[in-house]
């Protein structure tokens, strides 16, 4: 089944404890992206990647890191999480330039206390 898989689905952590949210797609898509969704603010792009080893900042990149060492994986790293990073996170992928739309993962609900 073609899908974008995120893990974990739920995570509660403490301020400052490094964490990684994994994202993997099995559709051989070139484009991958991370979004966060907050009430009243909608979906905002954190980082995106156009291909292996090619990443760039989205609209809200502060406090996040990403890497794209393999085409299928695009992990999101929070080096020192803070409470304002409590959010619902989505990974998404697209076969080309986003022009055919993105497929989303199931989401990761992160709480930082």
Q: At closest approach, how far in Å is the CB of 26 from other proteins?
A: 16
Which of 16-24, 45-53, 62-70, 71-79 is the region at the interface with other proteins (rule: CB under 8 A)? 45-53
Half-sphere exposure of 58 (CA within 13 A, CB side): 19
Sequence-ordered strand ranges (E) for 1-80: 4-7, 10-13, 19-25, 31-38, 42-51, 54-57, 65-66, 76-78
According to the binding rule CB under 8 A, does residue 81 interact with other proteins? no
- Pairing label, strands 42-51, 31-38: antiparallel
Q: Whose Cβ is closer to other proteins: residue 58's or residue 63's?
A: 58
Interface residues with other proteins (CB under 8 A)? 31, 33, 35, 40-45, 48, 50, 56, 58-59, 90, 92, 94, 96-107
């Amino acid at each position: 089944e073609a899908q974008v898989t995120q893990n974990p689905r739920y995570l509660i952590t403490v301020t400052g404890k490094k964490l990684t949210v994994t994202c993997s797609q099995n559709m051989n898509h070139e484009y991958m992206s991370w979004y966060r969704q907050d009430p009243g603010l909608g979906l905002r792009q954190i980082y995106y990647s156009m291909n292996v080893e090619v990443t760039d900042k989205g609209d809200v990149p502060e406090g996040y890191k990403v890497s794209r060492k393999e085409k299928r994986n695009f992990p999101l790293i929070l080096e020192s999480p803070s409470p304002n990073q409590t959010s619902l996170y989505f990974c998404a992928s697209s076969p080309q330039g986003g022009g055919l739309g993105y497929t989303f993962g199931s989401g990761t609900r992160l709480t930082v206390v």
